[in-house]
Chain A
Amino acid sequence: MPKIIYKDYQGSSKTIEVESGLSVMEGAIQNEIPGIDADCGGSMACATCHVYVDDKWFEKIPKAEDSENDMIDMAFEPKKNSRLSCQIIVNDELDGLEVTTPEKQT
């Protein structure tokens, strides 16, 4: 199973095995990773699963759609490597993916 590394803004990290086909958000919620709220449940209707994707991974994951970027505008402190974790679907190629949760989601 692919491993996803969830870091928080202070640098501590947790490595979680997430089943392929689940989103990075779902992997976080199921394993109670703090810092990912996912208020809307993954419908791209909020920005509370916002994460920063590690630079070496950012280009490797499929690009964000316009509607995702529109929603990231509403996130807390978006950066260039911001993504909504509900839109990153885990597969074997993402084994080792590192994401960092922002200081807060709202």
Chain B
Amino acid sequence: MKKTDVIIIGAGPVGLFAVHQLGIKGLKAVVIDNLDKAGGQCIELYPDKPIYDIPAVPECTGEQLTSRLIEQIKPFNTEIFLNERVDEVKQEKNNWIVKTNNKNQFIAPNILIAGGVGSFEPRKISLKEAEKLEGRSVFYAVKNKEQFKDKKISIFGGGDSALDWALELSKFSTVTLIHRRNDFRGAQHTLSELRKLEKEGKVSIKTSCQIESLDNEKELKSINVKFDDGKTEKIKTDVILGFFGLIMKLGPIAEWGLNMDKKTIEVNSENFETNKKGIFAAGDICSYPGKLKLILSGFHEVALASVECFKRARPNENYRFEFTTSSKTIKNRLGKK
């Protein structure tokens, strides 16, 4: 079990900046996130889209904001546990114990939930049969491409994942790429390569259609797609790969006994503590009168929450408010002279 001062759930901009606000106060933190990289919605939903309302940064993309935050928290050498979802939270005297789906355990007097709208999970095909076949012939990610060799594969989606895997798997399998509309949002050069393969008869592309049903006798045999004009088509398929993007699910957070308002966690706006002492929430996931879901609001929220975290983690010390510009202690913590 790892011991720390604050367990931060969520590595989005607010979770990352929390590391900074805690770090300059001398507190150690760990960060846990279900995605495979830090940045949260900024990196997952709009890495290339501009943001115009970060104070003193007239314009930056989601990716730039993330990489700058990561640079800003470098001095604190904080461990970020990616691809891990917090499943369980329980109290032990004045501490909280957190368990992840990866069997990691942490203990700290404080938990800071900066979980946005929850964890990202792949959107799945809503057919019941598809649910039954998940992990056998229906997949939402490619972990080992060898398992898809010499198969008849139907790939769904219009983004980069769908296009990239269609191209890659077409090298050794029969690929049908299926998308609900004619426009693909993935990289156009990948699409033109695929269109070329389509002309050569090596890849099949079906657009303006969606999955309607599966033919399944023990194993998946074929799928039926329905076109916008009402026509249907049967496509021989051993494997379905769905890349419908990610959806955000609140997940286990709802079961931790916190006061919730719809999908958000109620906090006070003085220190952003929830109804549980030592559990804080900041960023999009918290709610209080007047809450705005802005990144800058999240920054403010973690600054205030970090003060209460300090008091709980260092009960025998007095908190002293300091400026980064003038405090020697903070400069040391930042590795500046």
Contacts and interface: CB of A to CB of B under 8 A. Distances in A.
Interface of A: 37, 39-41, 45-48, 66-67, 69-70, 73-74, 76-78, 80, 106
B157 interface: yes
Interface in B208-230: 210, 228
Contact of A39 (B49, B158, B245, B263): B263
A82 to B, nearest CB: 9
A67 B45 CA distance: 11
The 4 closest A-B pairs by CB, nearest first: A74-B245, A70-B185, A41-B293, A39-B117
Given A39-B117, A46-B117, A73 B159 contact: yes
B126 interface: yes
A63 to B, nearest CB: 13
A78 B46 CA distance: 21
A39 B249 CA distance: 10
Contacts of A48: 247-248
Contacts of B158: 70, 73
Contacts of A80: 228
A48 B249 CA distance: 11
A106 B249 contact: yes
A22 to B, nearest CB: 16
Interface of B: 41, 45-46, 49, 117, 123, 126, 157-159, 179-181, 183, 185, 210, 228, 244-249, 263, 284, 293
B117 A73 contact: no
A60 B282 CA distance: 40
21 contacts: A39-B248, A40-B41, A40-B45, A41-B293, A45-B46, A46-B45, A47-B247, A69-B181, A69-B183, A69-B185, A73-B180, A73-B245, A74-B244, A74-B245, A74-B247, A76-B123, A76-B126, A78-B210, A80-B228, A106-B123, A106-B249
B157 A73 contact: yes
B46 to A, nearest CB: 6
Contacts, number: 56
A1 B31 CA distance: 48
A78 B180 contact: yes
A11 B21 CA distance: 50
A46 B120 CA distance: 11
A66 to B, nearest CB: 7
Nearest to A46: B248
B23 to A, nearest CB: 28
A73 B244 contact: yes
Contacts of B284: 40-41
A69 B185 CA distance: 9
Given A41-B293, A48-B247, 14 more contacts: A45-B41, A45-B45, A46-B117, A48-B248, A69-B183, A70-B185, A73-B157, A73-B159, A73-B181, A74-B244, A76-B123, A77-B126, A77-B210, A106-B249
Contacts of A67: 49
Contact of A66 (B117, B179, B183): B183
Contacts of A74: 123, 244-247
Contacts of B183: 66, 69
A66 B184 CA distance: 10
Nearest to A82: B180
Contacts of B126: 76-77
A106 B173 CA distance: 32
B117 A40 contact: yes
A80 B123 CA distance: 19
A42 to B, nearest CB: 9
A20 B228 CA distance: 33
A73 B208 CA distance: 12
A37 B181 CA distance: 24
B47 to A, nearest CB: 12
Contacts of A39: 117, 248, 263
A12 to B, nearest CB: 21
Contacts of A37: 263
A26 B233 CA distance: 39
A39 to B, nearest CB: 4
A39 B284 CA distance: 9
